[in-house]
Amino acid sequence: MTRKTLAAVLRADGTTPLETIELPERQPGDLLVRLRACGVCTGEAMRWYTAGKTSAILGHEVVAEVLEGGEGTAFKPGDRIFPHHHAPCGECEACRGGHESSCDAWKKSRLVPGGYAREFIVPAWNARRDTRLIPPALSDDAAIFIEPVACVVRALHKASGTLPSPTAPSMEVPAGGRGFQRIAILGLGFMAQLCARLFKERFPGARIAATELIPERREQGRALGLHAILDASLPDLPSALARELGGEPELVVVCPSSARAVAQGLSLAAPGGRVVLFAPPAPKDPVAVDFNRLYFRETSIVSAFSCGPADVLESLLWCQRLASDFEGMISHRWPLDRVGEALSAIAAQDPGVLKVVVRTPPGLPLAESQGEE
Ligand SMILES: [Zn+2]
Ligand SMILES: [Zn+2]
């Protein structure tokens, strides 16, 4: 039985009109779900990233309700779930090393057609390997944070040189993990603000400063209660930062998708410091880095790309602890067809658009069987 649904399809002009599309036939174990809410991801607004994805249906920060299926999985109709858009095999070398986002199976698995659809299919693979029931205490608004927060969880572990537990999640630094007294976060966009909140909780003794180019965002960042917020374009930024932190940062988290920010982050780290790349610069974005200096200061660079099942498990704890903070970060609640508008505002770095949640407009009928149109 084929079914039709409505989805926000990304057009070349950046708009996302709702279009009727056909869902593939549901296989045993697959879940047919209805979207309750989806966060618009800042990563989807990187134009070089979505350039090849015209006509795509994006959306992965989803909260959904099971309508049908789930044979042989832990889920049944009526369940409110977070289905991860990518699910790893758990057995390959990448998975065993905690690099699930490099697992071939992770890359191939996906929601069909994507999260920006009124209904979509969660393949049995994703349902079995990285789908979670949403705790009842978590609102839909707070639950759209499960995926982005899981990405920050990965960054927390990369910073400390640890792995999240696949069975017993904890918000503490795992035994043997590195701690920090002085942390710099570059950027104060949505993901950077999320990083600021979690790094502050994870390393409660640390002094944390953020740097940002846009004045309105610096103003917005005050609510985070950091030790300092500095203009990223200050000519004497390294010394200003060291003054605020009581020394050069041992940990620098680079959030903007820009090679310039990466170079700046590398130049700021203390000897023996660690630099976490939280977002990718555009491909072939050239940047001059003084490797001589990095060598003699023994600077290390780690990157945190997306998240895996253990990150999601730990994210559920963070989302419950910080639910009301997260809900307060949502700046707009829009209908599904305004995804494109949200992406344009994020790409333009509109400081008024911090986090957009889209929902299916009320009153639209449920998925219909073939022939009923
Ligand atoms: Zn995302
Ligand atoms: Zn794998």
DSSP-derived 3-state class of residue 31: strand
Q: Are strands 31-39 and 18-23 parallel, antiparallel or unpaired?
A: unpaired
| Each residue's pLDDT tens digit, 302-320 | 999 999 999 999 999 999 9
Residues 128 and 41 in one domain: yes
Q: Residues within 5 Å of ion ligand 2 by Cβ?
A: 88-89, 92, 95, 103
29 found inside a domain:
yes
Ligand whose nearest atom lies closest to the CA of 45: 1
Residue 58 CA to ligand 2 centre (angstroms): 23
372 found inside a domain:
no
364 found inside a domain:
no
Which is more confident, 306 or 53? 306
For residue 210, pLDDT beyond 50: yes
Rg (alpha carbons) of the chain, rounded to whole number: 21
Residue 59 CA to ligand 1 centre (angstroms): 8
Residue 165 CA to ligand 2 centre (angstroms): 17
Residues 156 and 119 in one domain: no
Residue 90 CA to ligand 2 centre (angstroms): 5
Domain's final residue, options 260, 284, 303: 303
Residues 185 and 99 in one domain: no
Residue 74 CA to ligand 2 centre (angstroms): 21
Ligand whose nearest atom lies closest to the CA of 306: 1
| Each residue's pLDDT tens digit, 222-271 | 999 999 999 999 999 999 999 999 999 999 999 999 999 999 999 999 99
211 found inside a domain:
yes
Residue 79 CA to ligand 1 centre (angstroms): 22
What was the pLDDT predicted at 370? 43
Residue 41 CA to ligand 1 centre (angstroms): 4
Residue 365 pLDDT grade (very low, low, confident, very high; cuts 50, 70, 90): low
For residue 204, pLDDT beyond 70: yes
Domain of 118: which CATH number?
3.90.180.10
Residues 60 and 189 in one domain: no
Percent of the chain with pLDDT over 70: 95
What was the pLDDT predicted at 239? 97
Segments forming the whole domain that contains residue 181: 151-303
Residues 254 and 123 in one domain: no
Ligand whose nearest atom lies closest to the CA of 103: 2
Contact 334, 357 (CB under 8 A): yes
Residues 130 and 262 in one domain: no
For residue 14, pLDDT beyond 90: no
Residue 197 pLDDT grade (very low, low, confident, very high; cuts 50, 70, 90): very high
Compute the average pLDDT of residues 122-127.
97
For residue 2, pLDDT beyond 90: no
Residues 235 and 174 in one domain: yes
Ligand whose nearest atom lies closest to the CA of 88: 2
Residues 197 and 281 in one domain: yes
Q: What's the structural domain count of the chain?
A: 2
46-50, 67-71, 197-201, 321-325 — which is least confidently predicted?
46-50
Domain of 234: which CATH number?
3.40.50.720
Residues 130 and 156 in one domain: no
Residue 344 CA to ligand 1 centre (angstroms): 16
For residue 51, pLDDT beyond 80: no
Residue 296 CA to ligand 1 centre (angstroms): 36
Q: Which amino acid is at 238?
A: P
| Each residue's pLDDT tens digit, 332-343 | 999 999 999 999
How many other β-carbons are positioned within 10 Å of the β-carbon of residue 291?
10
259 found inside a domain:
yes
84 found inside a domain:
yes
What was the pLDDT predicted at 373? 36
CA distance 351 to 220: 9
Residues 118 and 66 in one domain: yes
Residue 46 pLDDT grade (very low, low, confident, very high; cuts 50, 70, 90): confident
What was the pLDDT predicted at 372? 39
Domain's final residue, options 284, 303, 322: 303
For residue 286, pLDDT beyond 90: no
Residue 43 CA to ligand 1 centre (angstroms): 6
43-52, 59-68, 79-88 — which is least confidently predicted?
43-52
Compute the average pLDDT of residues 141-160.
98
264 found inside a domain:
yes
Give phi and psi for 34, each to the nearest 5: -110, 135
CA distance 98 to 303: 12
Compute the average pLDDT of residues 168-196.
97
Ligand whose nearest atom lies closest to the CA of 149: 1
pTM of the entire predicted model: 0.95
CA distance 297 to 269: 9
Residues 155 and 296 in one domain: yes
Compute the average pLDDT of residues 181-186.
98
CA distance 229 to 192: 12
What was the pLDDT predicted at 126? 97
What was the pLDDT predicted at 264? 95
* Angle CA 352–195–350, to nearest 5: 15
312 found inside a domain:
no
Residues 181 and 245 in one domain: yes
Compute the average pLDDT of residues 51-59.
79
